[in-house]
Amino acid sequence: MRPRISVLTLGVADLERALAFYRDGLGLPTEGIVGREFEHGAVAFFDLAGGLKLAIWAQADLAHDTGLPLTPVSSTAFTIGHNVTSRDEVDATIAQARSAGADILKTPQDTFWGGYAGYFRDLDGHVWEVVWNPDFLPAD
């Protein structure tokens, strides 16, 4: 398999609420919800760095499409790492997430490996790590 992952999709309980969190609360760019004309098709895409997209899709529709049973989100099964360029940006991003309604799991602090990071959980239980890693800075 070639490493061509281009979309990460999060199953959400309420698509409109999740859209507001990511678009209005975190400021991620999006065209909004598309695909409403299709049964189980409503989804929103957000543009991320490097051409990567984040999608939010109703968890019930994701379960329908995959044929899997609808189950609760496990916050410890998967995290999304958001690398930033400074310690101050970690603090600012965690504060922005808090203002948007996220649950702050771990306030920003020095890490054992020499970086600085904190964790938040979105409105549907998905965990994000906001991290400054001096050895792995984003290009932008």
> CATH no. for residue 111?
3.30.720.110
Domain count, the chain: 2
Quote the pLDDT of residue 3.
Answer: 82
Q: What is the mean pLDDT of residues 113-130?
A: 96
Q: What is the mean pLDDT of residues 116-138?
A: 94
Domain match, 53 and 89 both: no
Residue 32 resides in a domain: yes
The more confidently predicted of residues 115 and 4 is 115
Domain match, 61 and 85 both: no
pTM of the predicted structure, to 2 decimals: 0.91
40: containing domain: 7-66
End position of a domain, from candidates 66, 88, 115: 66
Say if residue 33's pLDDT is above 90.
yes
Residue 93 resides in a domain: yes
Domain match, 29 and 58 both: yes
Quote the pLDDT of residue 138.
Answer: 80
Domain match, 83 and 52 both: no
Residue 55 resides in a domain: yes
* Nearest residue to 78 (alpha-carbon basis) of 117, 25, 121, 132: 121
pLDDT-based confidence at 5, cuts 50/70/90?
confident
Residue 42 resides in a domain: yes
Say if residue 20's pLDDT is above 90.
yes
End position of a domain, from candidates 28, 43, 66: 66
Domain match, 59 and 83 both: no
Residue 128 phi/psi, 5-degree rounding, is -115, 135
Q: What is the DSSP string of the chain?
A: ------EEEEEES-HHHHHIIIIIIS---EEEEE-TTSTT--EEEEE-GGG-EEEEEEHHHHHHHHTPPP----TTS-EEEEE-SSHHHHHHHHHHHHHTT-EEEEEEEE-TTS-EEEEEE-TTS-EEEEEE-TTS----
